[in-house]
Amino acid sequence: MVAKQEQLQDTLAYQFKDKALLRQALTHRSAGKPNNERLEFLGDALLDFIVGELLFSAHPEASEGELTRMRAAIVNKTALARMAGELQIGDAIYLGAGEANSGGKRRESILADTLEAIVAAIYLDSSIEPCRTFITGITSELIANPKQQRRKDYKTQLQEMMQAQGHDLPSYELVATSGAAHAQEFKVLCRIAVFSAGQEGEGKSKRAAEQEAAKNMLIQLGAVD
């Protein structure tokens, strides 16, 4: 599980100074204490504030009611669980035996709550700016167009295609990081068994770069235009 935590930190594009804080954020109440319930509370408040701030800046003509509806479309259990799934948070969650055996690692409420807890853990481990950077990275598409229903992301599409064809799952490698700490650019290489050569993607977060690399691989496979 420690290896999965290390892998998750790469996916989050954030390295925790206090690893115990990350462990707590990933611990469901069914696994005992300390768990992530208090962190969920703080993370929920941080998401409301930062997503509200981002929407306020991105949509200067929107009314209060419109901004409220936009935020509700982003900060809800279904949307947060989808983001958590894209980040593969479920693989690193600590659950009690009962929850684990009943599919808790894929349950929407648990995924959403854990993402909220991770947001709080990043804030407590550092400050508001890394927290804002993380939230910006995972919500950027919806901030730009909150009314748009997010289709299945490119990483999921590529993974499901490889599974359907009986191939190994895609792998993603961070190959370069550039820019100042507050405005970094990430370059990721995606590899699959079908091709010896990989496809690269770039983005303002590791997740965004992985999505771009997966999209480029799907284009190579003729699966998207």
Kindly report, residue by residue over 26-50, the tens digit of the pLDDT: 999 999 999 999 999 999 999 999 9
Helix axes 108-125, 77-86, angle to 10 degrees: 70
Tokens 């190994």 correspond to 168
Which pLDDT tens digit goes with each residue over 171-209? 999 999 988 777 788 999 999 987 877 899 998 888 888
- How many of the other CB atoms lie within 10 Å of CB of 190? 27
Distance CA 49, CA 51 (A): 6
Report the pLDDT averaged over residues 1-7: 77
Residues 6+ apart with CB under 8 A from 158: 170, 190, 192, 214, 217, 218, 223
Instruction: Supply the pLDDT for residue 127.
Output: 94
Domains in the chain, start-ordered, CATH in brackets?
Answer: 2-144 (1.10.1520.10), 154-220 (3.30.160.20)
Indicate if the pLDDT at residue 151 is higher than 60.
Answer: no
Q: What is the pTM of this model?
A: 0.69
Cα→Cα distances 186→39, 96, 158, 200, Å: 28, 36, 20, 10
pLDDT surpasses 70 at 152: no
211 close to 155: Cβ distance less than 8 angstroms? yes
Calculate the average pLDDT of the chain: 89
Active site residues: 44, 116
Percentage of the residues of the chain whose pLDDT score is greater than 90: 51
Which phi and psi (to 5°) does residue 44 adopt? Answer: -60, -45
